[in-house]
Structure 1
Amino acid sequence: MTRTQEHKHERNPLVLSVTSGKGGVGKTNLSVNLAYTLGKMGKRVLLMDADLGLANVDILLGLAPEYNIFHLVYDEKKLDQVLVPTEYGFSILPASSGVPEMLKLSTGQKLELIEALEPLGQETDILIVDTGAGIGDNVMYFNLAVQERILVLTPEPTALTDAYATIKVLHNKHGVHRFRVVVNMTTDSKQAKQTFQRLAAACDKFLDGVSVDLIGFLPQDPAVRQSVIRQVPFCHTLPSSPAALAVRKIAENILAWPQTAKTDGNIKFFWKKLLFNN
């Protein structure tokens, strides 16, 4: 097979968000370990910290980014100065100064930012956008710009209620129909499936045309807390732990998703939607 033929068979970049209806459900920890696992599976992964109120990706990894994407415009920094490579096989794109500044950019500045970020489309297989929790505008902006949304919840009644609220807003106000679901902090697979079924039943009863798909669950695992304290991915330190094995199954599910039609490079399209359509 020639290089050209190989290129034709490459998977187009995938842009997905990891989001939640409430905080404390392990959303960012899943994002970090998913980025690590997909990287170990041969994918070029970029993790964007879009939790603008409580950015925690850098904390979970013991990092202190000096710049974020807005420095590309305001301080004329280069992309390689903003990207933060990690020792775990994936990079971080900090965005801690927030969507409000992004939306206040002039049209010219927005175009400059898109041009500066364009190389990411050729250098990235999967962009994971770790959003904030809840249904605020910042969270909605990012969830509307991505191709796929992974909604994280726990068996707690409040987490279930808030997850449903997130789906309801994205569906009723913004026309989003498909959601991938991960149930975290479960006692076993039975509890995970019961939690998901309650969410799916509510969607079937009250929301017309919504598709929810359980792509995995993470059991309660001491390895998770230990890794948070040590500021390292648990999939790296304890790859055979129940939580790490569960993340790998989720990663395998993601890679098995049908390939979407190419939309102007997908990652570039993400930035266009984020900057111009909100």
Structure 2
Amino acid sequence: MTSRLPLVLSVTSGKGGVGKTNMSVNLAYSLSMAGKNVVLLDADLGLANVDVILGLTPERNLFHLFNEDMTLDRILFDTPYGFRILPASSGVSDMVNLDRGQKLDLLDAMDALEDTVDYLIVDTGAGINDNVLYFNLAVQERLLVITPEPTSLTDAYALIKVLKLQHGVERFRVLVNMVEDRKTAKDVYIKLLKACDHFLDGISLDLVGFVPYDPNVRNSVIAQKPFCHRYPKTPASVAVRQAAQTINGWHVEPNTDGNIKFFWKKLLFQERSVA
């Protein structure tokens, strides 16, 4: 049994290639090394690659939950790094957009995690497709990964805009990845902040931290191991651990967004209200 209410956190981005999944994996590792019970959900359902980054080959994934009535405990996969993953399938077109029934199946399955996890990290796909929006609505906190590339900023703004204008989401956290130094990270963050302040009223955009460009990150991807595990003292690993410490200090409100069941059911209720 966990001693605290679970925090459901998405790691998301407007653009692919910004290191979102790598951040998800290494945050999961860092939080688990801090003694937390962590589950990482691979929610990039059509192009899943959490297992690839970890060099793992789970026999079962969410496809089996939706199509073979398999229970969650048979799909959850223990990694060698202290956390568990809920793998998704790659290259299965039926998984690209979940229908209402599949969302209900996932809701019911997630209930089993409520009393046993401290963190459910949801690694979303990139962009603004239905699954990305769905999972970003079904979490308490949204961690937006951006880089100094102009397209990363414009696509991140597009994701924020859709979630704000169409769904009323106003609070986002930001992690700036692959930057030269703190000043560059702050400049990138301020560019996004100014765009949101100018065009979107009421947006809260908090800087969680930044991860410097580090060649050991690429080396770890090639080796299919978390860089925080393989190179614990490298600058990127230190930065991710600092971000994990910040996340670990976030307060979870009881009886509002405080548990997994409430979250997913609230989301589906909103969908039915709109329909």
Q: Normalised by the size of structure 1, how large is the TM-score?
A: 0.90
Cα distance in 1 between the residues matched to 2:53 and 2:201: 38
- Structure 1 residue runs of 4 or more that deviate by more than 6 Å after TM superposition: none
Cα distance in 2 between the residues matched to 1:114 and 1:137: 17
Question: Quick one: which of 22, 42, 47 aligns to 2:15?
Answer: 22
Q: Which moved more, 1:247-256 or 1:29-38?
A: 247-256
Aligned residues: 267
Cross-structure match for 1:61: 54
Cα distance in 2 between the residues matched to 1:91 and 1:244: 20
Cross-structure match for 1:100: 97
Question: Quick one: which of 131, 142, 145 aligns to 2:124?
Answer: 131
1:118 counterpart = 2:115: no
Give 5+ residue unaligned stretches, structure 2: none
1:218 counterpart = 2:211: yes
- The answer on whether the counterparts of 2:77 and 2:86 sit within 8 Å (CA) in structure 1 is yes
Cross-structure match for 1:43: 36
Match of 2:229, SS state, is helix
- The answer on whether the counterparts of 1:13 and 1:125 sit within 8 Å (CA) in structure 2 is yes
Cross-structure match for 1:33: 26
- The answer on whether the counterparts of 2:148 and 2:179 sit within 8 Å (CA) in structure 1 is yes
Cross-structure match for 2:222: 229
Give 5+ residue unaligned stretches, structure 1: none
Question: In 2 relative to 1, CA 212–113 (structure 1 residues): closer, same or farther, beyond 3 Å?
Answer: closer
In percent, how many aligned pairs have the same letter? 62
Question: In 2 relative to 1, CA 93–22 (structure 1 residues): closer, same or farther, beyond 3 Å?
Answer: same
Cα distance in 2 between the residues matched to 1:157 and 1:255: 30
Cα distance in 1 between the residues matched to 2:162 and 2:257: 27
Matches within 5 A, 1:72-111: 72=65, 74-96=67-89, 98=95, 100-105=97-102, 110=104
Match of 2:211, SS state, is strand
What letter is aligned with 1:49? D
Cross-structure match for 1:167: 160
Match of 1:213, SS state, is strand
1:252 counterpart = 2:245: yes
Cα distance in 2 between the residues matched to 1:93 and 1:274: 20
Cross-structure match for 2:255: 262
1:199 counterpart = 2:192: yes
Query: How far off its partner does 1:154 sit?
Result: 0.2
Query: How far off its partner does 1:255 sit?
Result: 1.1
Match of 1:142, SS state, is helix
Match of 1:209, SS state, is coil
Cα distance in 2 between the residues matched to 1:126 and 1:91: 11
Deviations 1:95-137 (A, max 9, x none): 33626344244xxx93x65444322111111000000001111
Cα distance in 2 between the residues matched to 1:68 and 1:102: 17
Q: Which moved more, 1:72-81 or 1:219-228?
A: 72-81
Match of 1:22, SS state, is coil
Deviations 1:197-237 (A, max 9, x none): 01101111111000100001000001100000000000001
Cα distance in 1 between the residues matched to 2:98 and 2:8: 22
Cross-structure match for 1:185: 178
Cα distance in 2 between the residues matched to 1:125 and 1:258: 12
Question: In 2 relative to 1, CA 24–201 (structure 1 residues): closer, same or farther, beyond 3 Å?
Answer: same
What letter is aligned with 1:100? N
Question: In 2 relative to 1, CA 69–186 (structure 1 residues): closer, same or farther, beyond 3 Å?
Answer: same
- The answer on whether the counterparts of 2:26 and 2:228 sit within 8 Å (CA) in structure 1 is yes
Cα distance in 2 between the residues matched to 1:104 and 1:265: 24
Question: In 2 relative to 1, CA 47–70 (structure 1 residues): closer, same or farther, beyond 3 Å?
Answer: same
Cα distance in 1 between the residues matched to 2:151 and 2:165: 21
- The answer on whether the counterparts of 1:44 and 1:124 sit within 8 Å (CA) in structure 2 is yes
